[in-house]
Amino acid sequence: MLAAVGSRAVGLVEGFGNVGYFLADSVRALPDFRTWGRLTLLQMRRLGVDSLPIALFIAAFTGIVLALLASYVLTGAVPLYLVGTLVGKTVMMELGPVLTGLALAGRVGANIAAELGTMKVTEQVDALETLAYNPYSYLVIPRVLAGTVMFPVVVAFAMAMGVFTGWLGATTLLPISSAAFMRGLRLFFVPFDVQYGLIKSASFGFVITLVGCFLGLGTRGGAEGVGKATTRTVVYSAEMILVLDAYWAVVLLLGFKGPA
Amino acid sequence: MIQFADLHKAFGPNRVLEGFTLEVRDGETMVIIGYSGTGKSVAIKHVVGLLEPDAGHVAVDGRIVSELDREALTTLRSTIGFVFQSSALFDSMTIFENVALGLRRLHDLPETEIALRVREALKLVDLPSAEAHMPSELSGGMRKRVGLARAIALRPKYLLYDEPTTGLDPVTSAVIDQLIVRTREALGVTSIVITHDMRSAYMVGDRIAMLYQGRVQQVAPVEEIKASADPVVRQFIEGRPDGRAVVRASLGEAGRAIDLEGSGA
């Protein structure tokens, strides 16, 4: 039992070590802008723009549900305009980034792992190397950069959609006027709310794409190996999103004094 | 000249190369034969630095590959064309883009010159009208030919073929063999061809080396190999299931090996 736990712990440390080496190799490939510059733009469209529909879909329903949930919780002496406050804060700071992140762990992370895994087992990665391309500058940097830059953009749209459908739900399904909802939305709003959500999103984008690239390029075997890499990417990315979510809460929210 | 000097390589407990030594002279076509999974592909992947030896080295024109920094390795790779067993064409690119990819990286050529070189390479492999197609639209034989075109577009000094005829019908295999011979005549390249197809080996090779149990069992000109008295070589070239050979079919990087004892002699 103890040996099994020890072995798992060693494996975990080894895994983080390997990711560290992988990251270092990626950083070393950064001067090769000639290779990754154009490819990054392509990935920004694939990973970012093409992810907008699913992000907006999730945010749309989240906003409505949050408005209804808030009105259910706020009973008695608590004024209903606080529905706007709750919808705004929750969408911008938590559900916008996290739900979008989890959805994109499936869409983007799985896509990267499956694509790079297939390239690996069909010798396309070796072929790239024999043609003197560095796989880190050709495959990894464009995806990780695109993910880190574009996830906050996608989440920003998701935030706007969530707040909009929250307003729509509150004003059509609840006895709250548009002015009251907006009053609640503005009441405790600080720009930091949005910054906090976007910082988290960038970190989610970075981790999802990095894990997808790492496990995709580490694929062994055939179709089974690709399947394993894809599944592990989704699972690890989802876990990392939740860990990072807690990390940012501790680092950025503890001790935050609120609006002056 | 390519020299394999006492090359050792293992994947986990599975020792694939155990003192592999071979010299490939300038201008010749060296065919490396051997049982499936005995490390033929592993050996030539060391030539382009895709694998690092555990011991020993591979030297190309006197430069030890595993000691080169990335820049020097890039320069070396620009002189070597590698034709992969699975063709390894990039699925998301057209045939033109596949063949042009190396040219864009390795040579600062204008687009017109790249287009010219791509068409020239595709013509040499008898696929002049394939450039707009995607790899998935081509047959296995055509994909192998595109893989060859991609390698020769770089006008390399060395060409490495990893089982170029595996999985192809006899006629398509013969076409590929002809292309290998034609490429050598047209470009004057030094080639290493990995195969276990003896008909192909006899047709394209100047010399044949048999890799057996991690090292060279015999290396000799084609006619000498045909007349070899070595029982292991004879069993292989005649394709007899019984004989002296112990077939040690490695399972690659999974780190396991299966030993199938020959029944006989």
Judged by a CB distance cut-off of 8 A, whether residue B50 touches chain A is yes
- pLDDT value at A24 more than 90: no
Judged by a CB distance cut-off of 8 A, whether residue A35 touches chain B is yes
Judged by a CB distance cut-off of 8 A, whether residue B74 touches chain A is yes
Give the minimum alpha-carbon distance from B251 to chain A in angstroms, rounded to a whole number.
10
Bigger pLDDT: A154 or B249?
Answer: A154
In whole angstroms, what is the distance from residue A75 CA to residue B48 CA? 72
- The predicted model gives B176-181 an average pLDDT of 88
In whole angstroms, what is the distance from residue A127 CA to residue B67 CA? 21
Amino acid B248: pLDDT:
53
Which one-letter amino acid corresponds to residue A4?
Answer: A
Amino acid B264: pLDDT:
37
- pLDDT value at A33 more than 50: yes
Q: Which of B80, B90, B154 sits opposite A124 (nearest CB)?
A: B90
The token pair at B89 is 């064409």
Percent of chain A with pLDDT over 90: 69
Q: Which of A122, A132, A134 sits opposite B78 (nearest CB)?
A: A132
| Other beta carbons less than 10 A from residue A252's beta carbon | 15
Give the minimum alpha-carbon distance from B173 to chain A in angstroms, rounded to a whole number.
21
CA-nearest residue to A138 within chain B is B105
- pLDDT value at B259 more than 70: no
The token pair at A43 is 């990935």
Q: Poorest-confidence range of A102-106, B60-64, B109-113, B218-222? A: B109-113
Q: Which of B50, B106, B253 sits opposite A126 (nearest CB)?
A: B50
Judged by a CB distance cut-off of 8 A, whether residue A131 touches chain B is yes
- pLDDT value at A210 more than 70: yes
**Residue-wise pLDDT tens digits, B93-109:** 999 999 999 888 876 78
- The predicted model gives B111-131 an average pLDDT of 89
- CA-CA-CA-CA torsion for A148, A154, A156, A159, nearest 10 degrees? -130
Which residues of B are less than 8 Å from A39 in CB distance? none
**Residue-wise pLDDT tens digits, A47-86:** 999 999 999 999 999 999 999 998 888 776 778 888 899 9
Q: How many helices (H) and strands (E) does chain B have?
A: 9, 12
Domains, chain B: 2-229 (3.40.50.300)
Residue B100 near residue B110, CB atoms below 8 Å:
no
Judged by a CB distance cut-off of 8 A, whether residue B102 touches chain A is yes
**Residue-wise pLDDT tens digits, A108-153:** 999 999 999 999 999 999 999 999 899 999 999 999 999 999 999 9
Amino acid A196: pLDDT:
94
Please provide the average confidence, as pLDDT, over all residues in chain A: 90
Amino acid B247: pLDDT:
61
- The predicted model gives B74-87 an average pLDDT of 90
Amino acid A260: pLDDT:
47
- pLDDT value at B137 more than 50: yes
Judged by a CB distance cut-off of 8 A, whether residue A224 touches chain B is no
The token pair at B67 is 């000691």
Amino acid A258: pLDDT:
58
- pLDDT value at A225 more than 70: yes
Nearest-10 crossing angle of helices A178-187, A141-173: 130
Percent of chain B with pLDDT over 90: 53
CB contact under 8 A, B105 and A221: no
CA distances from A117 to A97, A106, A181, A219, B32 (A): 27, 16, 48, 5, 29
Judged by a CB distance cut-off of 8 A, whether residue B78 touches chain A is yes
**Residue from B82, B83, B118 to probe the interface with A (highest A Cβ count within 10 Å):** B82
Sequence ranges of the domains in chain A: 80-250
Q: Poorest-confidence range of A197-206, B22-31, B72-81, B100-109? A: B100-109
Which residues of A are less than 8 Å from B69 in CB distance? none
- Tally C-beta pairs within 8 A across A and B: 53
CB contact under 8 A, B84 and A131: no
Q: Which of A124, A132, A220 sits opposite B106 (nearest CB)?
A: A132
Give the minimum alpha-carbon distance from A120 to chain B in angstroms, rounded to a whole number.
10
Which one-letter amino acid corresponds to residue A89?
Answer: K
The residues, any chain, with a CB within 8 Å of residue B246's CB and separated by 6 or more, are B213, B259, B260, B261, B262
Which residues of B are less than 8 Å from A119 in CB distance? 90
Amino acid B17: pLDDT:
93
Amino acid A11: pLDDT:
77
Amino acid B107: pLDDT:
67
In whole angstroms, what is the distance from residue A32 CA to residue A84 CA? 48
- pLDDT value at A253 more than 90: no
Residue B79 dihedral angles phi and psi, to the nearest 5°? -105, 0
Closest CA to A109 of A135, A137, A144: A144
pTM: 0.85
Amino acid B10: pLDDT:
92
Judged by a CB distance cut-off of 8 A, whether residue B80 touches chain A is yes
Amino acid B42: pLDDT:
93
Residue A167 near residue A186, CB atoms below 8 Å:
no
